[in-house]
Amino acid sequence: MYRTAHRIDQGEEGNAILSFPSVIDGISAIQYSQSVMGKRAYIETWGCQMNLHQSEGIAGVLQRAGYTLVEEIEEADIVLFNGCMIRQKAEEKVYGRIGAVVEEKRKRSVLLGIGGCLGHLRGDSLLERFPAVDFVFGSRGHGSLPERIEQLRRTGGRLPAQDPPTIEEVPFSRKSSVTAMVTIAEGCSNFCSYCIVPYARGPMRSRAPALVVREVEHLVSAGFQEVLLLGQNVNSYGRDRPEFGGFAELLDWVARTRIPRVRFTTSHPRDMTVDVLKTMAARDNVCNHLHLPCQSGSDRILQAMRRGYNRGQYRSIVDAVRDVVEGVNLTTDIIVGYPGETESDFADTMRLIEEVRFGSIFAAKYSPRPLTRSALVEDDVSEGTKNERLQRILSRQREIALEENERWVGRDVRVLIEGETRDGRLYGRADDHRTVVVEAGAIGELATVHVEGATASALAGSVLISAKGNS
């Protein structure tokens, strides 16, 4: 769960999107809040980076319309929950937070809206199921959210669905001042058997390369050190708009700006091209990290998942990646307990993570989702077996990650310092996405760090040289 932080990019023309100058430019948040009683908004977000970024867009749009963003539900006139549907648990977490608003509603007037993938798919049923929910909004068309909220203040109910055919250009109120997320495509047309995203987000729509590059150039001027290019499947970029070119070209254009670091996520193994790998290898500022979700190591399960590759093909893609992009850190997503997954299928997945030796994995238990193909088949792997497989794979991965991280001890790595850990130490990411905890430096600096220790989840080291990334 993330609360949207409120870095207001004053002086920048809406920071990202130039056609919408921000109305808050030049006015401090405090001055502002005095004039906006009734327009204090609180946003809470669940789900993937795209949802987080969409909340940054919602925050930007609300600010443009005169709203102030607040950090606590207690201070808000309007509460927006931007929810996720990827697994049952993700959905339940959002419902679990409604109580906090109910509590507040007992004391005073406050509006609650639920949106994102969750609002898009559950729609009116949320209004029926939770009387505290005043309105529901979808996963796109946020540009007109303020006007639609105004309308709803009068009528109540569901905001009419908005489904713009292209990606909307909106201003962003960004959470980080170091790393900026930049959308290159929205939606997904893949329809993996288990996945709700194509239903929640619609078909893949690519964003014009000129808009992407212009946004990155503005982020460079605003002092950002890193961009994270976002799409459900970045390497199928442009497939819906051949005139936009492909992902390799876009990546190269972005890398040719003066942004110190470029990352991207997520890459679908089936659509990986040698050109993308060549660009990664050729451009120093494109990070040495590839998130390449395999989902399973069993041919039978991969076929049932409709992933479009088998285990051998996945292994060949990994070999090609490692051939072209020297020292690349591979990470992955895995689903355990897909319908029909036997002990032998699971053993194939375990074998895959042992062979590939990912830097880190994100593993989750299969969860049947409405509308998806796999929801039509029995969810026949018991909860106990799913739990046990999840624990086995996570524990094996911890051993692998520790061994891999230990190889870095004694070496120097370049780290972009991003934030503070809970216990007040600074942390950042190495070029290859490994987390590095440092004891000196400042947020936003690109530091050369001598690695002195390693755990399964991070490296720790001391800063040798630190400098603002652009210099």
Give alpha helix (H) positions in 3-48: 29-34
Under the criterion CB under 6 A, does residue 295 sit at the interface with ligand SAH? yes
From the CB of 311, what's the least distance to ligand SAH, in Å? 16
Q: Does residue 234 belong to the site contacting ligand SAH (CB under 6 A)?
A: no
Reference 76, options 121, 53, 44; nearest CA is 44
Q: Which stretch binds ligand SAH (CB under 6 A): 94-102, 318-326, 360-368, 451-459?
A: 360-368
Spell out the residues 6+ positions from residue 73 whose beta carbon is closer than 8 angstroms to its own: 42, 79, 100, 101, 104, 110
Cβ atoms 200, 121 nearer than 8 A: yes
58 sits near ligand F3S (criterion: CB under 6 A): no
Of the pair 15, 295, the CB lying nearest ligand SAH is at 295
Q: What CA–CA distance (Å, rounded) separates 291 from 232?
A: 11
Q: Does 233 bind ligand F3S (CB under 6 A)?
A: no
Which of 22, 51, 68, 190 binds ligand SF4 (CB under 6 A)? It is 190
Characterize the bridge pairing of strands 426-430 and 435-438. Answer: antiparallel
- Residue 408 binding: pick among ligand F3S, ligand SF4, ligand SAH, none (C-beta 5-8 Å cut-off by kind): none
Residues binding ligand F3S: number (CB under 6 A): 13
Q: Write b or e for each residue in 335-349: b if 16 or more Cβ atoms lie within 10 A of its Cβ, otherwise e.
A: bbbbbebeeebbebb
Count of residues in the chain: 471
Residue 66: alpha-carbon gap to chain centroid:
27
Q: Which is nearer to ligand F3S, 135 or 199 (CB)?
A: 199
Q: Across the beta sheet with 226-230, what order do the strands follow?
A: 179-183, 226-230, 261-265
**162 vs 372, beta carbon nearer ligand SF4:** 372
Q: Which residue(s) pair with 351 in the sheet?
A: none
Stretch 425-464 residues interacting with ligand SAH (CB under 6 A): none
Query: How far is it, in rounded angstroms, from Cα 279 to Cα 287?
Result: 11
State the Cα–Cα distance between residues 55 and 59, nearest whole angstrom: 6
Member of 39, 87, 158, 263 binding ligand SAH (CB under 6 A): 87
Q: Which does 369 bind (CB under 5 to 8 A by kind): ligand SF4, ligand SAH, ligand F3S, none?
A: ligand SAH
Give the relative orientation of helices 209-221 and 247-255 as an angle to the nearest 10 degrees: 20
The least CB distance from residue 63 to ligand SF4, in Å, is 30
| Span interacting with ligand SF4, options 16-24, 122-130, 187-195, 404-412, rule CB under 6 A | 187-195
- Residue 335 binding: pick among ligand F3S, ligand SF4, ligand SAH, none (C-beta 5-8 Å cut-off by kind): ligand SAH
Q: Is 397 in the site for ligand F3S (CB under 6 A)?
A: no
Q: With binding defined as CB under 6 A, does residue 234 bind ligand F3S? A: no
Return the one option of ligand SF4, ligand F3S, ligand SAH, none that residue 54 interacts with (CB less than 5 to 8 A, by type).
Answer: none
Q: Does the protein bind ligand SF4 through residue 191 (CB under 6 A)?
A: yes
Is 194 one of the binding residues for ligand SAH (CB under 6 A)? Answer: yes
Residue type present at position 288: N
Indicate whether 139 belongs to the interface with ligand SAH (CB under 6 A). no
Q: Are strands 40-45 and 68-69 parallel, antiparallel or unpaired?
A: parallel
- Name the nearest CA neighbour of 194 among 125, 295, 122, 119: 295
Q: In whole angstroms, how far apart are CA 117 and each of 46, 51, 114, 304?
A: 10, 8, 10, 24
Q: Does 188 bind ligand SF4 (CB under 6 A)?
A: yes
Q: Which is nearer to ligand F3S, 291 or 434 (CB)?
A: 291
Where would I find the H helices in 308-447?
311-324, 343-356, 383-406
If one asks whether residue 59 binds ligand F3S (CB under 6 A), the answer comes out as no
Contact region with ligand SAH (CB under 6 A), list: 39-47, 277-285, 359-367, 385-393? 359-367
| Residues within the interface to ligand SAH (CB under 6 A) | 86-87, 194-195, 197, 232-233, 266, 268, 293, 295, 333, 335, 364, 366-367, 369
Give the interface with ligand SF4 as residue ranges (CB under 6 A).
188, 190-192, 195, 197-198, 232-233, 268
